[in-house]
A and B are shown apart, each in its own frame.
Chain A
Amino acid sequence: ETGVTQTPRHLVMGMTNKKSLKCEQHLGHNAMYWYKQSAKKPLELMFVYSLEERVENNSVPSRFSPECPNSSHLFLHLHTLQPEDSALYLCASSQEGGRWGQETQYFGPGTRLLVL
């Protein structure tokens, strides 16, 4: 596999469930990102990890819990979600996570989440 992969591609869960989204990048990058894309809204950054350290938490509710065990893998743990959390969750990576935002980010195909 090449690029950025995400699993599962589709997920339906109840509000009391616990699930995890997985992202893996095969590009040798040092930074990884979680984004949320809701219908009719712009793409929103959720979390950023650089060298496995969280460097940005964009005011995301605690029912979303990220984990970055190494520079190639990123997880988003979900618990007690709300219907309004239904969205496309996109993972991205970049070479360095450079401070001055000079880099292109490479995106995975996303996980389509539906919360019932």
Chain B
Amino acid sequence: KQEVTQIPAALSVPEGENLVLNCSFTDSAIYNLQWFRQDPGKGLTSLLLIQSSQREQTSGRLNASLDKSSGRSTLYIAASQPGDSATYLCAVNSRGSNYKLTFGKGTLLTVNP
């Protein structure tokens, strides 16, 4: 059974700092890994999707890496802004699970002005 762990559970940084969020998964046989953002009381917004054959994806100030063999992914946020404050969720789509995404519990990020 796939399990996804996100560390740290919460992170508070000053504005402008570069930061890294971590995600690990137990079963390396995955199709893809996704990073989502969730604002308080709201739904999820997809940030980046990395296919199993890829090593990284970039979108603006965000860069996500994937090391499938070690079961790890990182989300790098450059020059953080208060508007980046949200919960960041990692989810993997595993072989044999078809539509089922397995989510981590998320990292609550607070960027202080």
Query: Residues of A with Cβ closer than 8 Å to B?
Result: 4, 6, 31, 33, 40-45, 48, 50, 55-56, 58, 88, 90, 92, 97, 99-102, 104-110, 112
Q: Please determine whether A107 and B45 come into contact, CB atoms closer than 8 angstroms.
A: yes
B89 at the interface (CB under 8 A from A): yes
Q: Please determine whether A106 and B46 come into contact, CB atoms closer than 8 angstroms.
A: yes
Docked complex Cα distance between A48 and B103 (Å):
16
Docked complex Cα distance between A58 and B103 (Å):
14
Q: Please determine whether A104 and B42 come into contact, CB atoms closer than 8 angstroms.
A: no
A102 and B32 in contact (CB under 8 A), knowing A42-B105, A43-B89, A107-B43? yes
Q: Please determine whether B93 and A101 come into contact, CB atoms closer than 8 angstroms.
A: yes
Q: Please determine whether B105 and A41 come into contact, CB atoms closer than 8 angstroms.
A: yes
Can you list 29 pairs linking A and B with CB atoms under 8 Å apart?
A4-B43, A33-B99, A41-B105, A42-B4, A42-B102, A42-B103, A42-B104, A43-B89, A43-B91, A45-B100, A45-B101, A48-B100, A55-B98, A56-B98, A56-B99, A58-B100, A92-B43, A100-B98, A101-B93, A102-B32, A102-B51, A106-B46, A107-B36, A107-B44, A107-B45, A108-B43, A109-B41, A110-B42, A112-B41
Q: Please determine whether B97 and A101 come into contact, CB atoms closer than 8 angstroms.
A: yes
Q: From residue A101, how far is it (CB to closest CB) to chain B in Å? A: 4
List chain B residues, Cβ under 8 A from A105.
46, 101
Q: Please determine whether B99 and A101 come into contact, CB atoms closer than 8 angstroms.
A: yes
List chain B residues, Cβ under 8 A from A45.
99-101
List chain A residues, Cβ under 8 A from B112.
none
